[in-house]
């Protein structure tokens, strides 16, 4: 996954190790989207100057548990946020990227923002 089109990167951690990716898969089972694995292997967490944050492997597990994502919108994984209370989500079963308010996680209120994670990232992570 190419991160070069992302403008105004505030930070990008080194890629996740195979051990970190394995721990993530153990947390979510085999339903971790391959595009998320590809992104995290390039940057295990990154942030943009506009406030968008993509979580590192350990943060993905922690934030999903804290916000009980699996309880409120089963089949989705929070992979980041906009630093303003909205979660960036991936479906475990379809390729789209979604945006939802952390305060009202409801499958009927999520908004699709990209067809795939690769498209969203390579397009500069627009909301």
pLDDT tens column, 12-40: 899 999 999 999 999 887 678 899 999 99
Distances (CA, A) of 76 to 6, 50, 71: 24, 24, 10
**pLDDT over 90 percentage in the chain:** 70
Given a cut of 80, is residue 44 above it in pLDDT?
A: yes
pTM beyond 0.85, yes or no? yes
CATH of region 9-122: 3.40.1580.10
Instruction: With beta carbons less than 8 A apart as the criterion, state whether 3 and 120 touch.
Output: no
Question: What's the pLDDT band for 3 if we cut at 50, 70, 90?
Answer: confident
């Amino acid at each position: 996954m190419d991160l070069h089109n992302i403008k105004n990167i505030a930070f990008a951690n080194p890629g996740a190790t195979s051990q970190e990716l394995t721990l993530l898969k153990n947390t979510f089972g085999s339903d971790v989207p391959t595009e998320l694995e590809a992104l995290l292997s390039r940057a295990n967490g990154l942030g943009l100057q506009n406030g968008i944050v993509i979580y590192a492997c350990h943060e993905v597990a922690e934030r999903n548990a804290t916000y009980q994502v699996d309880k409120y919108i089963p089949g989705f994984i929070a992979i980041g946020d906009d630093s303003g209370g909205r979660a960036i989500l991936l479906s475990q079963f379809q390729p789209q990227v979604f945006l939802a308010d952390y305060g009202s996680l409801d499958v009927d209120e999520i908004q699709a923002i990209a067809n795939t994670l690769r498209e969203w990232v390579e397009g500069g992570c627009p909301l």
